Amino acid sequence: MLYCSKCHTLYENGTTCSNCNEPLTEPKSGNLVLLTAAMYAESNEILDAFRARGIYIDRNPTIEEGVFELFVQYADWEKANETLHIVLEDLKKRAPFNVEETTDQDKEKKELSKGKKWALRIIGAIAFGLAIWGVIALTDLVIAFVKGWFA
């Protein structure tokens, strides 16, 4: 593993940080490493789980409002990722947090609902057309009926 001491990011390989161009170094066990970014409520859950397991974790706000970055010590990297995975799985089960990025299945669902929306629009348009046709037909009938009186 290689480490950017400026961004606190770990890299599998490379010589410089792709974010800030700082030369990468071997991480030391005490180095703070960026674990993940999370929304406030989500980060609370992560913090709780880490504290329960006795893993050091640090939370810092980012420039994006409501988004926090979580840092762990490099010595805890493996354990931290394991714990994070457990917390995220748990959050996913409990929803309403959207922890995971949209999966293909979700995309399919969205496509489907888009199709449904179009179907509804078309049905709506047909119904509207039928309603207008009905009114015209009815008016003709009434006119014919009224004309009948004066004939």
Instruction: Using CB under 5 A, list all residues that contact Zn ion.
Output: 4, 6-7, 17, 19-20, 22
Tell me how far, at minimum, the Cβ of 34 lies from Zn ion, in Å: 10
Count of beta carbons in the 10 Å neighbourhood of residue 112: 10
The residue to which tokens 């010589």 are assigned: 15
State the nearest-atom distance from the C-beta of 68 to Zn ion, in Å: 19
Q: Which is nearer to Zn ion, 22 or 58 (CB)?
A: 22
Residue 6 or 28 having the CB closest to Zn ion: 6
Q: What tokens appear for 126 in the block?
A: 């047909």
Q: Name which of 26, 20, 80, 86 is nearest 56 in CA terms.
A: 80
To Zn ion, the closest distance from the beta carbon of 114 in angstroms equals: 40
CB 49: neighbour CB atoms within 10 A?
18
Q: Return all residues near 30 (Cβ < 8 A) that are at least 6 apart.
A: 73, 74, 75
* Minimum CB distance to Zn ion smaller for 8 or for 42: 8
User: Considering the complex, what minimum distance in angstroms separates the CB of residue 58 from Zn ion?
Assistant: 17
